[in-house]
Amino acid sequence: MKVLDLTRIRKPYFGYEDLARVLGITPASARVAASRYARQGVLIRVRRNLYVLREAWNAGGMEQRFQLANIAQAPSYISLSTALAYYEVTTQIQRDFFESVAIKRTREIHINGTIFRYAKINPALYWGFRKERQFFIATPEKALLDAFYLMSYGRYGLDVPALDADKLDRAEIKRLISRFPLKTRSLLERYGYL
């Protein structure tokens, strides 16, 4: 088995089956090989049966990290300050830190010095996102509402003064807020977004 054979995998993130195919080995052997290559630093383990080549990780940009965030915990979508920074609504730029909203659980995943944080929300609020290129991301207004929702329960801190409110559609915020709890609406009113 040659490490160079791994570059024939055309997916940014792959599992044992992909390794088995390019290396010409069984899936069980691929599992052992993946573990060995991860120890050697050739592969980076994302989670069980999900890897990325180190050189692809190092060359990857923000959008590739967004795609990984969606894959590492599914279902999820990019939201909160990460989405607001993507849309240039906030001046707060987070380096090597990506925030998503999920319905399964709140958790943090550390991968090669990068933190992927998932905030659990009520499944009834799991909407307001779109597929952009190869990843799912909240609309700017929904990212703001997700942040205020979590803030209203004391589970998130948003740097509100760093936001550029002119880049948000106030009519869209008013339309979307009807599905959120009263305490979220009250917080939005207090900050002048309603």
Domain boundaries, the chain: 3-58, 61-190
- Of the chain, the percentage scoring pLDDT greater than 90 comes to 88
User: DSSP 3-state helix, strand, coil percentages of the chain (rounded to 5)?
Assistant: 50, 20, 30
Query: Which CATH number is correct for 3-58, 1.20.120, 1.10.3470, 1.10.10, 3.30.1490?
Result: 1.10.10
Residue 1 has pLDDT above 70, yes or no: no
Q: What three-state secondary structure class fits 130?
A: strand
Average pLDDT, the chain: 94
Q: Is 79 helix (H, G, I), strand (E, B) or coil?
A: coil
- What average pLDDT score do residues 149-159 get? 96
Task: Look at residue 3 and tell me whether its pLDDT is greater than 80.
Answer: no
pTM for this one? 0.91
pLDDT attached to residue 2:
67
Output the pLDDT for position 10: 84
**Structure confidence by residue, pLDDT tens digits, 26-76:** 999 999 999 999 999 999 999 999 999 999 999 999 999 999 999 999 999
pLDDT at residue 143 tops 80: yes
Contact predicate 63/38, CB 8 Å: no
Strand segments, DSSP code E, in the chain are 43-47, 50-53, 76-78, 97-102, 107-111, 114-120, 129-132, 135-138
pLDDT above 70 as % of the chain: 98
